Amino acid sequence: MAAMELQQGGNIKVIDLALKYGYDSPVSFSRAFRTLHGVTPTEARAGGVTLKAYPRISFQISVKGEKRMDYRIENKDAFQVFGYEGIFNTDGIGVNADILHDNAVHPNNPHELWNQNYVNGAYEKLAADAGDLPLFVSPGLCKVHGVCDYKQTEPGTFAYMQCAFRNKNSKVDGYTVANIPASTWVIFPSEKFKWDNVVEVVNNLHKRFFSEWLPTAEYEQVNGMNFEIYGGDSDMGYVELWYAVKKKV
Indicate whether 72 belongs to any domain. Answer: no
What is residue 67's predicted lDDT score, i.e. its pLDDT?
Answer: 67
What is residue 59's predicted lDDT score, i.e. its pLDDT?
Answer: 47
What is residue 144's predicted lDDT score, i.e. its pLDDT?
Answer: 96
The interaxial angle of helices 122-129 and 110-120, nearest 10 deg, is 90
pLDDT(99) > 50 = yes
- State pLDDT tens for residues 147-200: 999 999 888 888 999 999 999 999 999 999 999 999 999 999 999 999 999 989
What is residue 91's predicted lDDT score, i.e. its pLDDT?
Answer: 67
Indicate whether 58 belongs to any domain. Answer: no
Asked whether residue 4 falls in the same domain as residue 92, the answer is no
Tell me the backbone φ, ψ of residue 218, rounded to 5 degrees: -90, 30
Report CA Rg, the chain.
20
Q: What percent of the chain shows pLDDT beyond 90? A: 42
Backbone dihedral region for residue 118 (phi beyond 0: left; psi -120 to 50: alpha; all else: beta): alpha
CA 148 – CA 145 distance, rounded (Å): 10
CA 168 – CA 224 distance, rounded (Å): 28
- State pLDDT tens for residues 15-66: 778 778 888 777 788 888 888 888 888 888 777 788 887 766 554 444 455 5
Indicate whether 238 belongs to any domain. Answer: yes
How many domains are contained in the chain? 2
85-94, 102-111, 178-187 — most confident range: 178-187
Q: What is the CATH number of the domain that holds 15?
A: 1.10.10.60
**96 against 21, higher pLDDT:** 21
Residue 187 three-state SS: strand
* Residue environment code for 133-171, b if the CB has 16+ CB neighbours within 10 A, otherwise e: beeebeeebbbbbbbbbbeeeeeebbbbbbbbbbeeebe
What is residue 56's predicted lDDT score, i.e. its pLDDT?
Answer: 64
| Range from 5-14, 77-86, 87-96 carrying the lowest mean pLDDT | 87-96
Sort 36 into a burial class: Cβ within 10 Å, 0-12 / 13-18 / 19+: middle
pLDDT(141) > 70 = yes
Asked whether residue 95 falls in the same domain as residue 152, the answer is yes
What is residue 195's predicted lDDT score, i.e. its pLDDT?
Answer: 92
Tell me the backbone φ, ψ of residue 117, rounded to 5 degrees: -75, -25
Asked whether residue 23 falls in the same domain as residue 87, the answer is no
**76 against 54, higher pLDDT:** 76
- 201 touches 193 (CB < 8 A): yes
Mean pLDDT over the full length of the chain: 85
Asked whether residue 41 falls in the same domain as residue 85, the answer is no
Asked whether residue 27 falls in the same domain as residue 91, the answer is no
Dihedral Cα 158, 122, 231, 148, nearest 10 deg = -10
- 152 touches 144 (CB < 8 A): no
Asked whether residue 41 falls in the same domain as residue 94, the answer is no
What is residue 104's predicted lDDT score, i.e. its pLDDT?
Answer: 57
Asked whether residue 126 falls in the same domain as residue 213, the answer is yes
Indicate whether 67 belongs to any domain. Answer: no
> pLDDT tier at 245 (50, 70, 90 boundaries)?
very high
Q: What is the CATH number of the domain that holds 197?
A: 3.20.80.10
Task: For residue 38, give Cα distances in angstroms to 21, 44, 124, 192, 230.
Answer: 19, 9, 39, 21, 25
Asked whether residue 210 falls in the same domain as residue 114, the answer is yes
* Mean of pLDDT values over 211-236: 90
Which among 128, 162, 169 has a CA at the least distance from the CA of 145? 162
Asked whether residue 40 falls in the same domain as residue 133, the answer is no
Indicate whether 64 belongs to any domain. Answer: no
Asked whether residue 33 falls in the same domain as residue 81, the answer is no
Indicate whether 236 belongs to any domain. Answer: yes
Domain that includes residue 24, residue range = 1-46
What is residue 61's predicted lDDT score, i.e. its pLDDT?
Answer: 44
Indicate whether 161 belongs to any domain. Answer: yes
Asked whether residue 134 falls in the same domain as residue 188, the answer is yes
Residue 236 three-state SS: strand
> pLDDT tier at 95 (50, 70, 90 boundaries)?
low
Asked whether residue 120 falls in the same domain as residue 174, the answer is yes
- 170 touches 104 (CB < 8 A): no
Indicate whether 198 belongs to any domain. Answer: yes
What is residue 62's predicted lDDT score, i.e. its pLDDT?
Answer: 41
CA 99 – CA 175 distance, rounded (Å): 10
